[in-house]
């Protein structure tokens, strides 16, 4: 666990990240994959002097919360505050209490309760002042603090403030998680890296917004249209969805698995040689022989227009996760697809088992998503700024 802390922290709490070689208005931050290959940490400091925190990066939510030092959420075995960090408000000269409590809920059922406060956040050598944050004191279903970088609600997110305070040119970022066996990836605020995807990067609108009284559209999550899913075995390609298939899908780094609705999940699970665990379960978690990781199977996910929109190929090696033990003499591993039954009330979620194979640009100013096949072993960085007008022409098809 000691390798969580990638950057060097200066005396005033500034994290020295890998931003020195970038143009002025992009900000690169390292993501560290958790040892169990679920989810990703991002490092910040909060307060003056800065107190280090390792937080889960979550594109599917928009709240920043940190555990309070000495609180119930730290004293239990729930959140390992001694390893990931906890915040002591009494030690920060820039701490401003709002005297307002809140409970923040997340899509997986987890929640945290605490008080809103303002303080300075340092990320990769840049300071964001007066960042609204929740100081968590109790909660359930959570393993660490969270940095939500989704759409702003009635309060600004960290990425929104990076743009508002002129650190980056737009409220946008690109995610590169690298392959399953890698130590981690990066989030590039305000830019995209041409070296890390196979061109063209195709752009599509965010869907599922709510029309407000003033005619504007408000979005809650980065949701796009999943339009086709196919399985590949060598040169044989089989479309597993109907011709009129269309399903809203959330692009969420805060979900470790890819969540498909049960009818489609059943088809994919069978086609890939996976099964439910336990075997009597009608939905939920799935397993697969660990040896499948070396096969030529893969999944194709099509978005927006099934012929003209982005297509991402996910090799089965990226879907065969940690070993679970032997069943009838066969070593079994967790499979990266979760089957959602109607009673689960879960949306289709393109989680980390999908996102490692995709280079995704989240443009929250113009409400568009850019997507292309990722490059796992890229060459030198080739950074392009994302202006307020949106993903630049020339990298989008």
Residue whose entry in the numeric block shows the structure tokens 């399903």: 247
| DSSP code for 87 | B
Whether 395 contacts 310, CB under 8 Å:
no
What residues does each domain of the chain span?
2-168, 197-385
Whether 222 contacts 251, CB under 8 Å:
yes
Among candidate residues 9, 97, 4, 96, the one with its CA nearest the CA of residue 51: 9
- Point out the catalytic residue in the list 97, 99, 214, 252: 252
* pTM (2 d.p.): 0.92
Question: What is residue 19's predicted lDDT score, i.e. its pLDDT?
Answer: 46
Which 3 state secondary structure label does DSSP give 2? Answer: helix
Q: DSSP string covering 325-366, please?
A: EEETTEEEEEESEEEEPGGG-PPEEE-HHHHTTEEEEEETTT
| 58 tagged catalytic | yes
Distance CA(317)–CA(335), nearest Å, equals 10
Q: What is the CATH number of domain 2-168?
A: 2.40.70.10
Question: What is residue 16's predicted lDDT score, i.e. its pLDDT?
Answer: 42
- Point out the catalytic residue in the list 58, 119, 178, 363: 58
Give the rounded distance of the alpha carbon of 276 from its chain centre: 25
Whether 385 contacts 392, CB under 8 Å:
yes
Per DSSP bridges, beta strands 146-148 and 286-289 are unpaired
What's the N-to-C CA distance of the chain in angstroms? Answer: 41
Contacts of 215 (CB under 8 A, 6+ apart): none
Per residue in 71-81, pLDDT tens? Answer: 999 987 678 99
Please tell us whether the domain made up of 197-385 is placed in CATH 1.10.540.10.
no
| 344 tagged catalytic | no
Q: DSSP string covering 50-86, please?
A: TEEEEEEEETT---EEEEBTTSHHHHSSSS-HHHH--
Whether 159 contacts 126, CB under 8 Å:
no
Question: What is residue 24's predicted lDDT score, i.e. its pLDDT?
Answer: 53
For the chain, which ranges sit under pLDDT 50? 1-9, 11-23
Looking from the CA of 7 toward its CB, the CA atoms found within 13 Å total 28
Q: DSSP string covering 228-243, please?
A: EEEEEETTEEEE-S-T
Question: What is residue 303's predicted lDDT score, i.e. its pLDDT?
Answer: 98
Question: What is residue 12's predicted lDDT score, i.e. its pLDDT?
Answer: 47
Per residue in 182-196, pLDDT tens? Answer: 999 999 999 999 999
Question: What is residue 397's predicted lDDT score, i.e. its pLDDT?
Answer: 52
**Do 2-168 and 197-385 come out as alike in CATH topology?**
yes
CA-CA distances (angstroms) from residue 107 to 21, 62, 97, 121, 154? 37, 12, 27, 25, 19
Distance CA(387)–CA(264), nearest Å, equals 38
């Amino acid at each position: 666990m000691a390798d969580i802390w990638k950057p060097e922290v200066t005396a005033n709490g500034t994290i020295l990240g890998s931003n020195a070689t970038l143009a002025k208005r992009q900000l690169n931050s390292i993501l560290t994959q958790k040892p169990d290959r679920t989810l990703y940490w991002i490092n910040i400091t909060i307060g003056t002097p800065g107190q280090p925190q390792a937080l889960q990066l979550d594109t599917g939510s928009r709240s920043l919360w940190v555990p309070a030092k000495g609180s119930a959420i730290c004293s239990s075995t729930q959140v390992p505050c001694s390893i990931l960090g906890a915040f002591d408000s009494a030690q920060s000269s820039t701490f401003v209490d709002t005297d307002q409590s809140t409970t923040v809920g997340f899509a997986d059922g987890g929640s945290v309760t605490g008080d809103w406060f303002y303080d300075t956040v340092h990320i990769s050598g840049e300071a964001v002042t007066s960042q609204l944050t929740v100081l968590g004191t109790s909660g359930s279903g959570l393993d660490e603090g969270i940095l939500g970088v989704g759409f702003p609600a009635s309060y600004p997110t960290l990425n929104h403030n990076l743009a508002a305070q002129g650190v980056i040119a737009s409220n946008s970022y690109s995610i590169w998680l690298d392959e399953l066996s890698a130590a981690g990836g990066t989030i590039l605020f305000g830019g995209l890296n041409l070296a890390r995807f196979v061109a063209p990067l195709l752009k599509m609108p965010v869907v599922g917004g709510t029309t407000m009284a003033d005619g504007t559209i408000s979005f809650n999550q980065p949701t796009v249209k999943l339009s086709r899913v196919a399985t590949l075995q060598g040169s044989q390609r089989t479309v597993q969805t109907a011709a009129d298939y269309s399903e809203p899908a959330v692009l969420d780094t805060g979900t470790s698995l890819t969540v498909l609705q049960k009818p489609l999940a059943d088809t994919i699970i069978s086609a890939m040689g996976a099964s439910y665990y336990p075997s009597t379960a009608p939905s939920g978690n799935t397993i697969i022989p660990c040896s499948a990781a070396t096969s030529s199977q893969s999944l194709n996910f099509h978005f927006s227009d099934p012929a003209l929109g982005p297509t991402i190929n996910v090799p089965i090696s990226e879907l065969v996760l940690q070993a679970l033990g032997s069943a009838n003499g066969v070593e079994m591993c967790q499979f990266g697809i979760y089957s959602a039954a109607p009673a689960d009330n879960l949306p289709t979620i393109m989680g980390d088992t999908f996102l490692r194979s995709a280079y995704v640009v989240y443009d929250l100013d113009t409400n568009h998503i850019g997507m292309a096949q990722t490059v796992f072993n890229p060459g030198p960085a080739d950074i392009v700024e994302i202006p307020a007008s949106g993903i630049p022409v020339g990298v989008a098809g």
